[in-house]
Amino acid sequence: MFTISRKEITWGGRPLILETGRIARQADGAVLATYGETSVLCTAVAQREPKVGIDFFPLTVNYQEKTFAAGKIPGGFFKREGRPSEKETLTSRLIDRPIRPLFHKNFRNETQVICTTISHDLENDPDIVALVGASAALTISGIPFLGPIGGARVGRVDGEFVLNPRAEELAASDLDLVLAGTNAGVLMVESEAQQLPEDVMLGAVMHGHNGYQPVIDAIIDLAEQCAKEPWHIPETPAEVTEIAERVRELGEAPLREAYGIREKQARVEKIAAAKAQIVESLTAEDKSPELARGPLKSLEKDIVRGNILRTGERIDGRDTRTVRNIDCQVSILPRSHGSALFTRGETQALAVATLGTGQDEQIVDALDGEYREHFMLHYNFPPYSVGEASFLRSPGRREIGHGKLAWRALRPMLPSKEEFPYTMRVVSEITESNGSSSMATVCGSSLALMDAGVPLKSPVAGIAMGLIKEDAGVAVLSDILGDEDHLGDMDFKVAGTAEGITSLQMDIKITSITEGIMRDALAQAREGRLHILGEMGKAIESARDEVSEHAPRITTMSVPKDKIRDVIGTGGKVIREICEVTGCKVDIDDDGTIKIASVDGDAAQRAHDWIKGIVAEPELGVIYNGKVVKVVDFGAFVNFLGAKDGLVHVSELKPERVAQVSDVVNEGDEVKVKVIGFDDRGKVKLSMKVVDQATGEDLAPGELPPQQPRRPRGDRDRRPRA
């Protein structure tokens, strides 16, 4: 019934198995990739007919996790998987970016890659397995994919690189780097690092590149067993070639003139006018303007790239190494906890930091278990930032990906929760965009966090690098414009401090780049990053000494674990009362750590004293201020420590004999009492006569009756019933 093809290798000390022919046989390509005990089903399907009138490749990549993979049932009312999680969205992008450049340039058939995690061993992250499986499924499908590619994760433990670290190894690593590429070079890099120098990052990339070569060989071996016949891709029609020549004749001069304009909006308008004139001319000649899209894009690339290689001058007049003018401002919003406006050329980010409490932490329900995140960074890209009017949608893959890149860049520099017990959220609103808004987000967010009083270990800046690679030469570009990103061969984003790199992301639009080009790009990026950090330092050099007056103050205290129930109370009654009366937020951890948050310092102190009173134990010989809560014939009950009451026996009210207790005290009276002992049930014995009620002075210091050691009530001697 099944014709199964299988390839197994040992990779990073674990078996990697690629199998096809048993599951999803109607897909063009389907591979079950298993690494350790993590399995991902990867399928690739393309429509048989191409899409007409488009100048891009319609590829969709979807990565999805099924909770049954980890033996879990989804939460929520419907008990089924819902909208894609952040991890699923980011992994979809991770797979899309390296495979997209490798399809045949004439291929315009709608193509979909779906990767489904169906088993997770909680040790091996499914993202690398999905990347490898997607590459294998495309390679055997017959779809014109010019792969295969391999992928790997690289960690660094005790100074040594680790290929595909397990979860516990990754927790001890100062590097988390994911990369993919062909046997010739690297196509994609995504990483988070603890201020590592450029040579270490380059070494990690090359370690991963060498590490995934056996995977590429395994995919080729599998394809030799079972690959389908390759699809026929028609040659470029003669009509398109003719139109391309005509587009060049009509458009080269006006487009060169348009690209000579330095200001973005004026340049965009001039380019649009030139294109409209070309389309109008083609229409008048009875030529299809739809077929001109590709040739127009090629002409633009030739003009922009050729000018840079020939003259070294870019669209806006800069050379290849110069960073655009930078302006940094902080504290621009009066009520926010921290704010910054970072402007670099025609790219601008408004970053706003908000400080919260433990109740504001994000709860993430992942395959490998639930965890809480105390740092969030959200990136928004409204249409007005590029001078457009369009539908305002919820954050898409691009917004989530850019926000996560900035999050990775900043997270290594954040203080620990013990040092700074706040939940932190940064929102970056891109108010202008002309290249590398994600790196503007890194810079703006770093400024906003320092403005909010978050003690970053070091300020963080980011820069986007570009590449133009032709037979005529190679140019590495610092601080790329939007057009240079669109028409170039590389988008290489590097973020870090003056000491080293904290995050790196690279996407290559050509087949691969060499180690030498990466080394040059990293060195040039460091030069630009240090310049940007210097400009940021003119606005604010380090975190403010105190958080904003509008931010909550957090007071931390610790109570014994066996007292947590007393602070919470039955059904949460006590903790609710504390919050309602004082107006504070109170978070209680399982280890007994209590965090009290309030904008009002006096309210926080009241809550602190209240809790302290609940958990405090009376000390023998100590004098307390108390309040009479009940008067009886044999004495008075006094509330003297939190909710604790003690008995002042009638004989301890005054030195002389007292006929009636009410002659001395009444309910509501404020008195001073001294703890003189405990009875066999743990009840507190108090005395007023040994304390000067006016001054609180101890009238009989050191004179306490001998006491039996206190015993818990459960340990009292139990007498047998008669």
For the stretch 111-133, pLDDT in tens is: 999 999 999 999 999 999 999 99
Give the model's pLDDT for residue 464.
95
Q: How far apart are CA 279 and CA 275, in angstroms?
A: 6
Q: How far apart are CA 74 and CA 397, in angstroms?
A: 23
Contacts of 34 (CB under 8 A, 6+ apart): 15, 16, 17, 19, 40, 119, 129
Give the model's pLDDT for residue 642.
74
Q: How far apart are CA 504 and CA 442, in angstroms?
A: 12
For residues 701 and 678, the model is more confident at 678
pLDDT at 516 over 50: yes
For residues 88 and 641, the model is more confident at 88
Looking at every residue in the chain, the average pLDDT score rounds to 90
**353 and 550 in contact (C-beta within 8 Å)?**
no
pLDDT at 614 over 70: yes
Instruction: Compute the average pLDDT of residues 261-290.
Output: 85
446 falls in which pLDDT band (50, 70, 90)? very high
The superfamily CATH assigns to domain 5-226 is GHMP Kinase, N-terminal domain (3.30.230.70)
User: What tens digit of pLDDT does each residue of 629-639 get?
Assistant: 999 989 999 98
CA distances 142 to 25, 183, 279, 641, Å, are 14, 20, 36, 80
* CATH number belonging to domain 553-615: 3.30.1370.10
User: What tens digit of pLDDT does each residue of 342-389 get?
Assistant: 999 999 999 999 999 988 999 888 888 888 999 999 999 999 998 889
Q: What share of the chain has pLDDT > 90, as a percent?
A: 61
493 falls in which pLDDT band (50, 70, 90)? very high
- Considering only 84-93, 158-167, 238-247, 461-470, which range has the smallest mean pLDDT? 238-247
264 falls in which pLDDT band (50, 70, 90)? confident
Give the model's pLDDT for residue 425.
97
Contacts of 348 (CB under 8 A, 6+ apart): 341, 342, 385, 430, 431, 432, 433, 440
Mark 18-53 as b/e (b = at least 16 C-beta within 10 Å): bbbbeebeebbbbbbbbbbebbbbbbbbbeeeeeee
For residues 233 and 33, the model is more confident at 33
**315 and 422 in contact (C-beta within 8 Å)?**
no
703 falls in which pLDDT band (50, 70, 90)? low
User: What tens digit of pLDDT does each residue of 575-595 get?
Assistant: 999 999 999 999 998 889 999
CA distances 609 to 280, 323, 574, 675, Å, are 79, 55, 14, 20
pLDDT at 722 over 80: no
**317 and 547 in contact (C-beta within 8 Å)?**
no
Q: What is the length of the chain?
A: 722
Give the model's pLDDT for residue 702.
63
704 falls in which pLDDT band (50, 70, 90)? low
pLDDT at 682 over 80: no
Alpha helix locations (H) across 461-514?
482-487
Give the distance from CA 411 to its chain's centroid.
8
Give the model's pLDDT for residue 681.
79
Q: How far apart are CA 344 and CA 498, in angstroms?
A: 19
User: What tens digit of pLDDT does each residue of 388-402 get?
Assistant: 899 888 899 999 999
Q: How far apart are CA 565 and CA 571, in angstroms?
A: 10
User: What tens digit of pLDDT does each residue of 624-665 get?
Assistant: 889 999 999 899 999 888 778 899 999 999 888 888 998 899
Q: How far apart are CA 527 and CA 317, in angstroms?
A: 19
Name the CA radius of gyration of the chain, rounded: 35
For residues 601 and 165, the model is more confident at 165
Give the model's pLDDT for residue 438.
96
Domain ranges of the chain: 5-226, 238-311, 326-537, 553-615, 623-715
Closest by Cα among 27, 99, 104 to 60: 99
For residues 701 and 265, the model is more confident at 265
Instruction: Compute the average pLDDT of residues 471-499.
Output: 90
Give the model's pLDDT for residue 641.
82
pLDDT at 10 over 60: yes
CA distances 430 to 17, 101, 388, 547, Å, are 44, 28, 13, 25
**566 and 340 in contact (C-beta within 8 Å)?**
no
* Phi, psi angles (nearest 5°) of residue 469: -125, 115
Alpha helix locations (H) across 616-678?
none
Give the model's pLDDT for residue 279.
86
Other C-beta atoms lying within 10 Å of the C-beta of residue 619: 10
Q: How far apart are CA 281 and CA 672, in angstroms?
A: 100
For 238-311, the fitting CATH number among 1.10.10.400, 3.30.70.360, 3.90.1330.10, 3.40.50.2300 is 1.10.10.400
- Considering only 26-40, 127-141, 367-381, 602-616, which range has the smallest mean pLDDT? 602-616
pLDDT at 561 over 60: yes
pLDDT at 512 over 70: no
Instruction: Compute the average pLDDT of residues 603-620.
Output: 86
**374 and 423 in contact (C-beta within 8 Å)?**
yes
Q: How far apart are CA 501 and CA 516, in angstroms?
A: 18
Instruction: Compute the average pLDDT of residues 675-691.
Output: 88
| H or E, element range at 608 | helix 601-615
Other C-beta atoms lying within 10 Å of the C-beta of residue 701: 10
Instruction: Compute the average pLDDT of residues 160-185.
Output: 95
3 state DSSP class of 113: strand
* Phi, psi angles (nearest 5°) of residue 244: -60, -40
Q: What does DSSP say about strands 553-558 and 593-598: parallel, antiparallel, or unpaired?
A: antiparallel
pLDDT at 694 over 50: yes
The superfamily CATH assigns to domain 326-537 is GHMP Kinase, N-terminal domain (3.30.230.70)
Contacts of 643 (CB under 8 A, 6+ apart): 613, 614
715 falls in which pLDDT band (50, 70, 90)? very low
Give the model's pLDDT for residue 237.
75
In this structure, CATH architecture of domain 623-715: Beta Barrel (2.40)
Domain 5-226 identical in fold to domain 553-615: no
Give the model's pLDDT for residue 203.
96
Alpha helix locations (H) across 380-419?
397-410
Give the model's pLDDT for residue 469.
87
pLDDT at 714 over 60: no
Q: How far apart are CA 373 and CA 361, in angstroms?
A: 6
